[in-house]
Amino acid sequence: MINDKRNFAFAIFLITVFFNIASSKNLKCKFCKNEINGRYITQEKNAYHEKCYKDHIQLKCDHCKNIINGIYNLKDEKSYHQQCFINFVLDKCDVCYQPIEGEYIKDPWGNIYHNNHRSKMPSCESCNRLISKNTTDGGYRINGNRSVCNICRKNVIHDKNEIKNIYADLRNELKILGIINLPKTMSIKLIDTKEELYRISKIPSSNGLQGYTKYNYQTFGREKINENFTIFILSNLHEINFRAVLAHEMLHVYLFKNDISLRESLVEGFCNLGSKYVYDSNIENKISELKLKSMYKSNHPEYGKGFRIMDSELERYGWSKLLKKLESY
């Protein structure tokens, strides 16, 4: 998620007026043009009858319409009592509904909140919203260190039949792109914790790891026999994210099945083209938009830089030619 921090700027002014007693019969009110006798008010060297000043000149709050005395706030050429400004004009935090003064965070979904909420509340790992009663109607934790908001909850993947159908759909879609020879069925297991995924994959701890493909086989002479694939994916992922992770792992299977050896720095980059395909296919969804932006901005040598290299090659050649040229990378 990209956070936008802005300074909320506003001006504070002080009204200065003077009460005087007329000592000259030639003194006239700046507003009504009539002669002033007795007490009068001056502001910016202009003289006014007290009533003319209060009814027509004295500053009034653009919120409550009452007279302003002393310090006031000015925003967008409108004037406000300080409390009216704080209570009714300042943006309100979407987490606690309290006014926001100074810096605040704006998330990609348009929610704004005080900086301190970020360190006290979890974020949804699918949509990256700050999880709270007011922003997401709450959420839930998975084994203590993963959080899912209730907005994404209705779209998370956990049903075995659903997983089977998603795999079949993706297999057919990837086949159209030229990615063939994928198994008709696949063992796909959901893992609740990232720690367990790290243990299975033996990949150094990385917050971005969401899936892993385990490949086992035996050889008979030079021929591979008894090939076996198992794809492990984090549980409770939003369907779009789940599809993207699965497509990534299916491209790993494609490389294994076809004995294609890419440079190590490009393996994950090529497989991330599967994730990109899923996000592009669902680009109207904000989650897809955010995930794609993250992929293109990532500084990871394989998942980020390697992906951008392979994406550039895909743009240049298209899927058919790229698959034919894979052995040369």
Amino acid at site 168: A
CA distance 241 to 127: 9
Amino acid at site 139: G
Residue 79 CB contacts under 8 Å (≥ 6 apart), including other chains: 13, 59, 60, 61, 62, 68, 72, 73
pLDDT digits (tens, 9 = 90+) for 253-275: 999 999 999 998 899 999 999 99
Q: Are 108 and 128 in contact (CB under 8 A)?
A: yes
pLDDT digits (tens, 9 = 90+) for 76-118: 889 999 899 988 988 899 999 999 887 889 999 999 999 999 8
For the whole model, what pTM was predicted? Answer: 0.78
Residue 159 CB contacts under 8 Å (≥ 6 apart), including other chains: none
Residue 160 CB contacts under 8 Å (≥ 6 apart), including other chains: none
Torsion angles phi and psi, residue 73, rounded to 5: -105, 145
Q: Are 123 and 129 in contact (CB under 8 A)?
A: yes
CA distance 274 to 184: 18
Closest CA to 324 of 210, 187, 219, 180: 180
Amino acid at site 303: Y
Q: Are 79 and 61 in contact (CB under 8 A)?
A: yes
CA distance 108 to 96: 18
Residue 26's pLDDT is what? 81
Q: What percent of the chain is helix, strand and coil (3-state, nearest 5)?
A: 40, 25, 35
Closest CA to 250 of 279, 224, 275: 275
Q: Are 241 and 146 in contact (CB under 8 A)?
A: no
Torsion angles phi and psi, residue 151, rounded to 5: -70, -40
Task: Give the DSSP H/E element, type plus range, for residue 189.
Answer: strand 187-191
pLDDT digits (tens, 9 = 90+) for 41-68: 888 889 999 899 988 888 899 999 998 8
Domains and CATH numbers, the chain: 9-87 (2.10.110), 93-153 (no CATH), 160-328 (no CATH)
Question: How many helices and strands in the chain, by DSSP H and E?
Answer: 11, 14
Q: Counting beta carbons within 10 angstroms of the beta carbon of residue 11, is it exposed (0 to 12), middle (13 to 18) or buried (19 or more)?
A: exposed
Amino acid at site 191: I
Amino acid at site 175: K
Tens-level pLDDT at each residue, the chain (329 residues): 333 443 334 455 455 555 666 666 689 999 999 998 888 988 888 999 989 998 888 889 999 999 888 888 888 889 999 899 988 988 899 999 999 887 889 999 999 999 999 888 999 999 999 999 999 999 999 987 899 999 999 999 999 999 999 999 999 999 999 999 899 999 999 999 989 999 999 887 566 789 999 988 777 777 777 788 999 999 999 999 999 999 999 999 999 999 999 998 899 999 999 999 999 999 999 999 999 999 999 999 999 999 999 999 999 999 999 999 998 88
CA distance 173 to 304: 24
